Structure 1
Amino acid sequence: MTGFPKGGTRTSRPRLLAVRAAAGVIAVLLGVAGCTGPAGSGDGTGPTSGSGWAAGITPEWMSRQMGLPVPSTAGSPEAAYESTSRYDTGLLTFTLTRAEADTYLKENPPTGKLLEPTAAAAVPPHDFAHFGLPEPETFKDGLRYGDVCPGSNAGGPTALPSGVPEAYDTSEKRCVLLYLHAYAPDRTRVYLRAHYGPGTAPARPSP
């Protein structure tokens, strides 16, 4: 028989319906809490479900997405890829000799003039801190930077589709921010950072 608890005491139908309704409300509230997650997630300030630092990212894979090569002579190549609810960020870094860095610039020229900072920027560690490195913006001496836009003919990403926000579209090419930091008399560290807007991020490799 329905409507009878284990002890055999009859439960009135109105009361049973009220209990079921209350249970349904609780289930909905729990479902909403599970979707929203902890404070800070879903607002671009922290990773959401299915986001954060991706596993299995290699310098070779990130190089292909950026359309910029990692020279065979590069030292300490590292790559990472992070997703948030607002945009994705691809990172690639390696070291070269000063002469190799100059050659790299000639083969991958920046759009416009290569810039030098007037002062070091106070930015919180986040992107390249993932590798245990300082952020390139925190350097003033020995730093040069600029946008490199390889375009579709360089074997990298194709032009962005129409409708992509301008922040992710420079002259219809996906550009990469390049920093060169001469950290030693004959060594230069190359920092590459690319942002991918919603709907334009490359498919990440399987872990």
Structure 2
Amino acid sequence: MLRHGARLCVTAAAVLLLASCSGPDEDDGRVVEGRDWHWDTKAGASEASAFMNIAVPGDATQTKGAVQVNPQEDVYLLSFVTSEKNAEGIAEDLRPEEPLKARARDFAPEGERFGHLGLPEPQTLKGARWAGVCPPCVDDDRRKKVQWIEIHVQRLKGDQSRVYLQAF
């Protein structure tokens, strides 16, 4: 039989153990939102841009970015509003096999990644054009670390477009 003080220590240890196993954790400033992945709270547009080797145009507005840390591969997100000409140039610079084109929306988005940035998922946008490329497959030495990068371009008012980029 445990004494009262020992029982309190065992109870306190059990409560601490249960509390550490439930809900979000913080680890070095990075909030863990689930067991398998989390958003890197210290990474944003500059980290995503650097990973993708994409220069955000100087006239860009509403620039947002994030890094989703995953067990196998991290996902980098970047979005901004720029001119249609700049958006087209960024798409061409990726060296896709086909130019930007409308894509059938017969699939659900893979989670809600851009929702983390307060944006709709680009796959759900009517009229958004898409292109995807495997940089190593097209010998793009500028993006050696990138296995896949895709771009969605949503036409806005006037000559403006929102660019959505996702890479891993």
Maintained 8 Å contact 2:68/2:74: yes
Deviation per CA, 1:37-94: give whole Å up to 9, x if none.
23x88xxxx7059944514x34332211123222333333221234467864322111
8 Å Cα contact 1:47/1:83 also seen in 2: no
Deviations 1:116-158 (A, max 9, x none): 22237665994323443222121122x112323445721x4x4
Q: Displacement, 1:190?
A: 0.7
Which TM-score applies when normalising by structure 1? 0.58
- Structure 2 CA distance for aligned equivalents of residues 48 and 20 of structure 1: 35
Query: Any conservation in 2 of the 1:97–1:187 contact (CA below 8 Å)?
Result: yes
Give ranges in structure 1 of 5+ residues lacking alignment: 1-14, 160-172, 196-207
Q: Quick check: 123-132 or 100-109, which moved more?
A: 123-132
1:54 to 24, 37, 41: 41
Q: CA separation in 1, counterparts of 2:33 and 2:70?
A: 5
Matched, 1:153 2:141: yes
Give the 4+ runs in structure 1 shifted more than 6 A.
Answer: 84-87
Q: Distance in 2 between matches of 1:136 and 1:29?
A: 45
2:151 matched to which residue of 1?
A: 178
Kindly provide the CA deviation profile for residues 84-118 of structure 1, in whole angstroms up to 9, marking residues without a partner as x: 67864322111222222222222222256645222
Give aligned pairs, total: 158
- Quick check: 1:133 aligned with 2:90? no
Cα distance in structure 1, aligned partners of 2:44 and 2:109: 26
> 2: CA distance between counterparts of 1:34 and 1:85?
23
Give me the identity figure in percent: 23
> Which of 1 and 2 has greater Rg?
1
Q: TM-score, normalised by structure 2?
A: 0.68
What residue in structure 2 maps to residue 169 of structure 1?
Answer: none
Contact 2:62-2:81 within 8 A present in 1 as well: yes
Matched to 2:15, the amino acid is: L
Equivalent-residue separation in structure 1 for 2:85 and 2:77 (angstroms): 23
In structure 1, what is the Cα distance between the partners aligned to 2:73 and 2:103? 26
Q: Are residues 51 and 125 of structure 1, via their aligned partners in 2, closer, same or farther at CA, if it must alter by over 3 Å?
A: closer
Aligned to 1:79: 65
Q: CA RMSD in A?
A: 3.6
Q: State the match for 1:29 in structure 2.
A: 14
* Mapped partners of 2:159, 2:115: distance in 1: 23
